[in-house]
């Protein structure tokens, strides 16, 4: 029994094999750091945004070749622009960076992580051009549909901005993957349910779930150490992940159930340090209870 429509299964059906991911630091900044819409970034972000584990460098093609040069000729790859806001530049700069990443014919997909307030008509049109060369999708960091929580985490935009970005990308035929974080300050089961319900009305392709990480050097760490924030328990996280899965349409692709903790930076929760063990627990609970993606719709 297939518990959920995961990305690995999607790629195996499409390409007949597993597709490896190359995480890229494109040298971008973020409007929530440089003062355009805020400073300091989201409260859970470290100095390198979502790219704490990436061995970066100015030369994007070199980052790709570090991986592809060591790989077998039969392997296929996704080029994933991960660090910071990967549409935060004019279109010619974006074109040069995306082109640099597609430097090997074994790269069959281009994934672009960004903020919804950095998607406009020109950017969407540019990204749509790459559909002629490979699979393309855009990953948008919603995290929560609750605008009050968004203010607490210093997200820097309203949920309505996210909705407009999804509509614009879909108008150009670009699949959208939504990032959600389970365990944000002040959020409970109802907030998770409200976010899932909000997504039900949008044309999205995939969902990427993240557990909360309290990392050294972040404002969330300061809140944790002062007693102003308590992370969810492991059981709470598992229950909420399963709620998302069972209330998500079967055709939506689940890109991940939890993230990877940056080595040596995690303060709490300790249970979120072992990704594989956590995923195994989620899957076991779903099997034991006879649950599958979309079964509660």
* DSSP H/E element including 131: none
Host H or E run for residue 277: helix 275-289
Please answer whether residues 89 and 57 qualify as being in contact, where contact means their C-beta atoms are separated by less than 8 angstroms. no
Q: How many C-alpha atoms does 269 have within 13 Å on its Cβ side? A: 21
Reference 146, options 117, 189, 177, 203; nearest CA is 189
Question: Residue written as tokens 């055709």?
Answer: 251
Average pLDDT on 224-252 reads 97
DSSP 290: T
How many angstroms separate the CA atoms of 174 and 130, rounded?
Answer: 10
User: Which of 4-18, 199-213, 258-272 shows the lowest per-residue confidence on average (mean pLDDT)?
Assistant: 258-272
pLDDT in tens, 170-213: 999 999 999 999 999 999 999 999 999 999 999 999 999 999 99
| Burial degree of 294 (CB within 10 A; 0-12, 13-18, 19+) | middle
Token look-up 């990305």 returns 7
Cα angle for residues 218, 179, 181 (degrees, 5° grid): 50
How far apart are alpha carbons 185 and 221 in whole angstroms? 12
- pTM value surpassing 0.75: yes
Q: What domains are defined for the chain?
A: 7-289 (3.20.20.70)
Q: Let me know: does 136 contact 109? Beta carbons within 8 Å.
A: yes
pLDDT digits (tens, 9 = 90+) for 163-180: 999 999 999 999 999 999
Helices and strands counted in the chain (H then E)? 10, 9
């Amino acid at each position: 029994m297939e518990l959920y429509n995961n990305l690995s299964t999607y790629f195996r059906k499409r390409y007949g094999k597993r597709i490896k991911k190359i995480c890229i630091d494109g040298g971008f900044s973020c409007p929530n750091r440089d003062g355009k819409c805020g400073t300091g970034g989201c409260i859970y972000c470290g100095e390198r945004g979502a790219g704490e584990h990436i061995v970066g460098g100015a030369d994007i093609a070199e980052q790709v070749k570090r991986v592809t040069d060591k790989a077998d000729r039969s392997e296929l790859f996704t080029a994933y622009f991960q660090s910071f806001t990967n549409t935060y530049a004019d279109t010619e700069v974006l074109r040069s960076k995306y082109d640099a990443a597609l430097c090997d014919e074994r790269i069959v997909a281009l994934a672009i992580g960004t903020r919804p307030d950095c998607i406009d008509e020109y950017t969407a049109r540019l990204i749509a051009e790459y559909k002629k060369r490979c699979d393309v999708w855009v990953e948008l960091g919603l995290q929560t549909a609750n605008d009050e929580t968004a203010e607490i985490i210093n997200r820097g935009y309203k949920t309505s901005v996210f909705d407009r970005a999804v509509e614009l990308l879909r108008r150009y035929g670009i699949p959208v993957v939504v990032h959600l974080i389970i365990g944000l300050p002040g959020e409970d089961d109802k907030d998770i349910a409200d976010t899932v319900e909000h997504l039900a009305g949008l044309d999205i392709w995939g969902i990427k779930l993240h557990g909360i990480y309290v990392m050294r050097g972040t404002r969330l760490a300061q809140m944790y150490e002062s007693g102003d924030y308590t992370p969810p328990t492991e059981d709470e996280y598992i229950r909420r992940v399963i709620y998302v899965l069972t209330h998500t349409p079967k055709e939506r692709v689940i890109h991940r159930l939890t993230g990877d903790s940056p080595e040596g930076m995690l303060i709490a929760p300790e249970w979120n340090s072992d990704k594989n063990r956590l995923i195994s627990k989620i899957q076991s609970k779903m099997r034991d209870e006879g649950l599958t993606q979309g079964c509660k719709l």
